[in-house]
Amino acid sequence: MAFEALLARDSAKTPASLNELRTRVFYALQRHPLCRQVEFDIVSTPRTRRTNWTVSMHSVQPGALWTAHEIVADIQEAYELDAVA
């Protein structure tokens, strides 16, 4: 039982506000040359098993689409939208 509690704690996502998520996604996209021109919005969604927020991307160059998607997916695995937000 203690092992399950430890595993659940380690797999928990870090809560973040909309502004924090916007900042993290922005800087992560800026680090990749193909993704620097990507425009995006953070959108709160109903809570699912995996996440409670998503990113709506605009003006994505064809060569940057999969890279931007992977960057956002990595951030979504680590953070959840804070309930207070």
The DSSP bridge partners found for residue 79 are 14
User: CA 42 to CA 28: how far, in whole Å?
Assistant: 14
Q: Which domain range does residue 43 map to?
A: 1-81
Average pLDDT over residues 79-85: 76
Enter the pTM of the model.
Answer: 0.78
pLDDT mean over 24-50? 91
Provide the CATH number for the domain around residue 28. Answer: 3.30.300
Report how far residue 18's alpha carbon sits from residue 41's, in angstroms, rounded to the nearest whole number: 10
List of residues 6+ apart from 59 with CB closer than 8 A: 37, 38, 39
Q: Is residue 50 very low, low, confident or very high in pLDDT (cuts 50, 70, 90)?
A: confident
Say how many domains are in the chain. Answer: 1
DSSP structure class, residue 64: G
- The mean pLDDT of the chain is 85
How much is the pLDDT for 51?
82
